[in-house]
Amino acid sequence: MLRNSARKTIRELGKAVGVPYGTLGGWFRGANLPLASQASQFEKVLVTCGVTDAEGLDRWVQALLRVRRLPGRRPADQMAPYRGLESFQPEHAEWFFGRDDLTRRLLDRVDAGLTMVVGPSGSGKSSVLRAGLIAALPEWVLVTPGAYPLQALSGLMGEPGLTVIVDQFEEIFTGTTEDAHEFVDALCGLAETMPVVVGMRADFYAHALRYPKLAEALQHNQIVVGPMGEAELRQAIEGPARRARLDVDGGLVELIIREISPHEAGALPLLSHTLLCTWENSHGRTMTVDHYRASGGLQGAVAHTAESVYSELTEAQRDLARRLFLRLTHIGTDIADTRRRVERSELADEFGPVLDRFVERRLLTVDATTVQISHEALLLAWPRLRSWIDADRVGLRVHRQLTQAAQSWQAGERDPGGLYRGGRLEAAREWAREPAHQAELNPLELEFLDTSEQQHRQRTRRLYRLLAAFAALTVLAGGLAAYSQLQRAEADRARDVAISQNVAMTASRLRDTDPALAAQLALAAYRISPTIEARSGIMELTSSIEVTRVVRPTRVLQAVTVSPSGRLLAAAGAAEADSTILLWDLTNPRRPVRIGAPMIGHSSAVYAVAFSPDGRVLATGGEDRSVRLWDLSDPAHPVPLGAPLTGPAETVYALDFSPDGRMLAIGSGEGALHLWDLRSTTMRGPFTGPDGAVNALAFRPDGQVLAAGNGTETAGSLQLWDVGDPARARPAGPALALPSRVNAVAYHSKLVAVGGNDGAVRLWDTTDPAEPQPVGKPLVATVSVWINVLGFSSDGRLLGVGSADNTARIWDVATAQVVTSLPHPEPVTAVAFRDRFVATNGADGVARLWHVPEPVIARTDHPIDNVVFRRGEHVLAAAGGDIRLWNVRDRRPTPVSPVLTAPAPYDRIGGTVAVSPDGRTLAGGTRLGNAVVLWDIGDPRHPVRRGSLTGPAALVESVTFSPDGRLLAAGSRDGSVHIWDARTTQPIGKVSPEAGNVFVVAFSPDGRTLAAATQGGTVAFWDIADPLRPASLGKLVTSPGDDVRSLAFNQRGTVLATGNASGTVRLWDMTEPREPRLLGEPLTGPGGRIFALAFDPTDTTLAVGTGAGQLWLWNVADPESPETDVIINSAGESYTELAFSFDGTVLASAGRDVRLWDVDPARVSSRICTETGDLITEAEWRQHVRGVPFRPPCGSGRA
């Protein structure tokens, strides 16, 4: 009615307010509601329809808020078919779909004993246990540890036929260590008489492995809850809908399956919540794509729901909401943040109304006595909650520790021994001094802190009296001063450690969005206190592509381009407040230098910048409808070149010079194309093409064709123009219609790339511009993400794609695969390849120079499982399906050999590789055929195959040369170690440890001892001084039943490191090989099987890699007392081999890819200061480094 009274069609309204017609139609039909992010557009619609007074607008907005809170129409007798963020319960079994196979496997495994069910957060463990397993059991009891875990197990012993299900087992690791030990012991005691099934988050794996009985269950009786397959996802989406007699639009199912990565095991809560919101938005009995979009989609539904509740609260209630959610969150240190179950008594009554609002929308879950966040997914999916947490991690951790200590003190009948003292009291006291923090404390916490203070004062008074009894007044004064100084030093150290850990965690979080800033923050953390987190943070940076940032002083949106030579960067302010053009000298791209005075001339935002082919002229255009030319013959003194060019009737969005530099193409908002002849200073045009603004332009390299990308809010097109005669420019053929607005166009040779709002990049061969031919399928990285910019590399092999999802992706055009992704904190607005770097720009007003190649050797068809260095060189052999040699000096890999493949009849290399000590022979084991292939690599550019060694009856797991190069040994799954003469390639014999598979073989540095790591926890040794007559030196049982998956001698041969499947590393004194002696305690902590061990050349560092993607470094200068130096967790990785370069400057890790690390903090620190570009600003420091005065880690200059 409102639209009819205004006499506006949907199309007319859409053009007037900038809302897609389909979306607008949905609003007027009532199919969906405007999102919170569309509030301004909604108000524009109202104004355009005649609602112009403030009171009327407010009535409409309030009505929208009321309706938004209501669910859509649905059958009156139906319960919601989807659970949202809440887990399925036993009573919901009939609504539980998609996990039938997993439930059957779990039922088959449930027997007397302990079964571990492990999966990532959000994989559906709780739902499988409750609605899958429990629903199929006759007798069961469900336990969650909670604050008092032992109470949950009391009275269960001796119940026949009962199965104990423990869900959210990881909660015991967020409490006290004592409680955890007692609970595990009690649980394992129950498992001796009845079935016990334990559900645990995968990121707590390392914690569980510290308990031998849990480690045994994880090794022998574990079920992994992984991501759903496509068929299972269909069941999870369609099954509940069928049962509720609802129809699900086929396009909706396909869209959801495309948007949920098949590898995202933790995405199920987001899926469930999105489906719930989609159902709530639906009308009648059909769920459609429109309903799904109205919910916010997979990535936005949770945040949309949370924000809608938050927006309806008063200011006072919003503060209560913040305090409530922070109290419901456990702040992780070496683990991710987790939800925290809170007793209702811990919350004041004033939280009640706020709590009810979030419970109503299923974001919080309550029972009779406790409150908790419905799922950990909310911690990541709601940006506002994430910002609350990140704003003061140190303080939150102090508060949570205080809460836990106060509750333990209360449970211990207020035992004075449980009160705070020393550094912990000082840290809590300092945190609580702030009024805002004081308000966060509940009565129990206040009482605990006050009592701790009283005890501290009493102890201080007793100390005074004691000192007075035994010392003169002056001695007393000195003693008190010393005591006070000691206390202060302890508190300062504790504070610095906490701040360093917090800043390191912030840097880790920013690494995926702003790596250049993250590098400086990581270094700041290290300078504040060299904690494990700080050391790990700066080392982790070294395996990522290096990036230099160029910060625009005003940090406003800017248009950026780089000169063809790569020597100049020009950045123009794309904002009303700043429309100046700035220049940087990129002669050394790692140290950009601002040059010249700002170029001033435009009266408003500049949206387009372009260099002439010779780099001597810069063209700029924007909102003031003019185009200006600047003479950069002397970049230090840029000057205007003639008067501004006029002609466009609306904003200038695109500029491009012809390849010969004679013509400048101009695209503008009215949809017209202008051509400026720079020699005759004649403006040609306007040439009118398809509907919509001309947003992008690109000349074909021969200068005969100009590609123009047009678009409106709902559609777009690519028009190819014949500009062989600029005075008579004409369309080369019909415009190519596209489903969305075109934002970017790029050319290489005759291949044109086009990107737009639909998230796809399309390629056409324009050899015949009248009939361009599509090339391959569109490149699509993420559904519904706008493509902003495109740029080809000089050879056309790579295409850079800058998107609105804050990422620049580098695609291999031939394979249609993403080679690398470059993260940004804001949408990417520029991508340009140059010989030494890739330049990008973000909407945050920062340009970035990414230095290639990155320190990664990417896998091709198969994961790279093994690496080894040529002795005395930075040449690395990497094996994974094939073998290739790389020069990795300075961690910049460049291939130095062709790809080496297994000869017929063998299919491929099996991922094992070794290089002889003289660097002339390369050996690689085949996957099938059980052979070892040899190559002569004396000239790595022209390797020659020498032949193949046969003999093993099963897969070759490991190959190695003796230190003198005379012998080659191979460990095989046939249970033997096979030995050949490496010079003649003749077999010498074999030895068998008689302990099953041989996983790894190694020679001692003196060549006299051969060691083999095997199944069952055994290492076998032989004296190999006479290879023809190997003599057994006995066996070492590291840990019964715990496979030895890796071993390594140190450089002197005095220490042997062994790594077991349980994640345990042991060091052995090998002074007497017949009687190895354990040095110190076993090294524990890593999660997953220990696949890789490597000593550095100085024998002071031991690198450890696990199958769970963890990389640990231990300082083993004193092997009796190793100290942890670095812990790096790489999600989705598996470190299968590690190798140090001869000089220790590079640590290479193999797994999926090869990553090249620098383990020297001093060297890394220097590189950060040299290469990260503009220093951290004071505003950035205040935001991320709290409690420390502004002190840039690189000083005011550079290291």
DSSP states of 1130-1195 = -TT----EEEE-TTSS-EEEESSSEEEE---HHHHHHHHHHHSBSPPPHHHHHHH-TTS----TT-
- Confidence band (pLDDT; 50, 70, 90) for 580? very high
Three-state DSSP at 248 gives: strand
Query: With 80 as the cut, is the pLDDT of residue 112 above it?
Result: no
- Confidence band (pLDDT; 50, 70, 90) for 1115? very high
Q: Is the distance from CB of 960 to CB of 1137 less than 8 angstroms?
A: no
Q: How many C-beta atoms lie closer than 10 Å to residue 478's C-beta?
A: 13
DSSP H helices in 421-545 = 422-432, 435-438, 443-470, 473-510, 515-528, 532-541
Nearest 5°: the CA angle 161, 167, 170 is: 135
- Confidence band (pLDDT; 50, 70, 90) for 569? very high
Least confident of 271-285, 694-708, 961-975: 271-285
Q: Is the distance from CB of 617 to CB of 655 less than 8 angstroms?
A: no
Tell me, what's the pLDDT at 168? 85
Query: To which H or E segment does residue 87 belong?
Result: none
Q: Is the distance from CB of 388 to CB of 326 less than 8 angstroms?
A: yes
User: pLDDT (tens digit, 9 = 90+) per residue, 806-818?
Assistant: 899 999 999 888 8
Q: Using the 8-state DSSP alphabet, how is residue 78 labeled?
A: P
Tell me, what's the pLDDT at 346? 83
Residue 1120 in tokens: 């009796």
In angstroms, the CA 130 to CA 141 distance is 10
Least confident of 147-156, 247-256, 598-607: 147-156
Longest dimension (CA), the chain: 106
Least confident of 195-204, 408-417, 579-588: 408-417
Tell me, what's the pLDDT at 940? 92
Three-state DSSP at 789 gives: strand
User: pLDDT (tens digit, 9 = 90+) per residue, 1121-1138?
Assistant: 999 999 888 866 789 999
Residue 375 in tokens: 């799922």
User: pLDDT (tens digit, 9 = 90+) per residue, 1012-1030?
Assistant: 999 888 999 999 999 999 9
Query: With 90 as the cut, is the pLDDT of residue 298 above it?
Result: no
- Between 444 and 921, whose confidence is greater? 921
Query: With 60 as the cut, is the pLDDT of residue 507 above it?
Result: yes
1072-1094 as b/e: b if 16+ CB within 10 A: ebeebeebeeebebbbbbbbbbb
- Confidence band (pLDDT; 50, 70, 90) for 368? low
Tell me, what's the pLDDT at 1102? 98
In angstroms, the CA 463 to CA 432 distance is 26
Mean pLDDT of 603-631: 94
Tell me, what's the pLDDT at 1031? 94
The number of C-alpha atoms within 13 Å of 935 and in the hemisphere containing its C-beta is: 28
Query: With 60 as the cut, is the pLDDT of residue 334 above it?
Result: no
Query: With 80 as the cut, is the pLDDT of residue 471 above it?
Result: no
One-letter identity of residue 201: R
End-to-end CA distance of the chain: 69
Q: Is the distance from CB of 857 to CB of 902 less than 8 angstroms?
A: no
Burial of 575: CB neighbours in 10 Å, binned 0-12, 13-18, 19+:
middle
Tell me, what's the pLDDT at 389? 78
Tell me, what's the pLDDT at 483? 54
Tell me, what's the pLDDT at 1197? 45
Q: Using the 8-state DSSP alphabet, how is residue 870 labeled?
A: P
Query: With 50 as the cut, is the pLDDT of residue 263 above it?
Result: no
DSSP H helices in 244-351 = 250-259, 268-281, 289-295, 297-311, 315-327
- Between 140 and 55, whose confidence is greater? 140
Tell me, what's the pLDDT at 1199? 38
Mean pLDDT of 163-167: 90
In angstroms, the CA 289 to CA 276 distance is 14
Query: With 70 as the cut, is the pLDDT of residue 866 above it?
Result: yes
DSSP H helices in 566-696 = none
The strand ranges marked E within 1039-1152 are 1044-1049, 1055-1060, 1065-1069, 1077-1083, 1090-1095, 1101-1106, 1110-1115, 1123-1129, 1137-1140, 1147-1150
Q: Tokens 């992780």 sit at which residue?
A: 332
In angstroms, the CA 17 to CA 42 distance is 9
373-389 as b/e: b if 16+ CB within 10 A: bbbbbbbbbbeebbebb
Tell me, what's the pLDDT at 262? 41
Task: Please tell me whether the overall predicted TM-score, pTM, comes out greater than 0.85 for this model.
Answer: no
Reference 274, options 84, 31, 67, 74; nearest CA is 84
- Confidence band (pLDDT; 50, 70, 90) for 75? very low
- Confidence band (pLDDT; 50, 70, 90) for 1065? very high
In angstroms, the CA 289 to CA 591 distance is 49
In angstroms, the CA 246 to CA 251 distance is 15
Tell me, what's the pLDDT at 70? 44
Reference 125, options 223, 191, 243, 192; nearest CA is 223
In angstroms, the CA 499 to CA 1188 distance is 8
Q: Tokens 């002229």 sit at which residue?
A: 617
Query: With 70 as the cut, is the pLDDT of residue 23 above it?
Result: no
Reference 763, options 748, 749, 778; nearest CA is 778
Q: Using the 8-state DSSP alphabet, how is residue 845 labeled?
A: S
Reference 1021, options 1029, 1054, 1030; nearest CA is 1030
Radius of gyration of the chain (CA): 33
Q: Tokens 């009303």 sit at which residue?
A: 576
Mean pLDDT of 420-448: 77
Reference 431, options 407, 403, 459, 460; nearest CA is 403
- Confidence band (pLDDT; 50, 70, 90) for 68? very low
Least confident of 361-370, 668-677, 860-869, 1026-1035: 361-370
- Between 251 and 1164, whose confidence is greater? 1164
Tell me, what's the pLDDT at 76? 46
Residue 211 in tokens: 């308990």
Q: Is the distance from CB of 767 to CB of 750 less than 8 angstroms?
A: yes
In angstroms, the CA 512 to CA 524 distance is 18
In angstroms, the CA 1078 to CA 1080 distance is 6
User: C-alpha distances in angstroms, 986 versus 932, 967, 979, 982, 1011?
Assistant: 12, 10, 9, 8, 21
Mean pLDDT of 370-390: 77
In angstroms, the CA 553 to CA 558 distance is 11
Three-state DSSP at 104 gives: helix
Query: With 80 as the cut, is the pLDDT of residue 79 above it?
Result: no
In angstroms, the CA 425 to CA 433 distance is 12
Nearest 5°: the CA angle 576, 578, 579 is: 85
Tell me, what's the pLDDT at 292? 77
Mean pLDDT of 973-980: 94
Reference 322, options 400, 392, 393, 385; nearest CA is 385
Residues in the chain, overall count: 1199
Nearest 5°: the CA angle 715, 718, 723 is: 150
Three-state DSSP at 483 gives: helix
Least confident of 9-23, 728-742, 1048-1062: 9-23
Reference 321, options 332, 333, 313; nearest CA is 313
Rank 24-28, 64-68, 196-200, 463-467 by mean pLDDT and report only the highest. 196-200
Tell me, what's the pLDDT at 72? 42
Tell me, what's the pLDDT at 69? 42
Least confident of 474-483, 549-558, 710-719: 474-483
Burial of 5: CB neighbours in 10 Å, binned 0-12, 13-18, 19+:
exposed
The phi, psi pair for 1155, rounded to 5°, reads -115, 145
Mean pLDDT of 268-286: 78
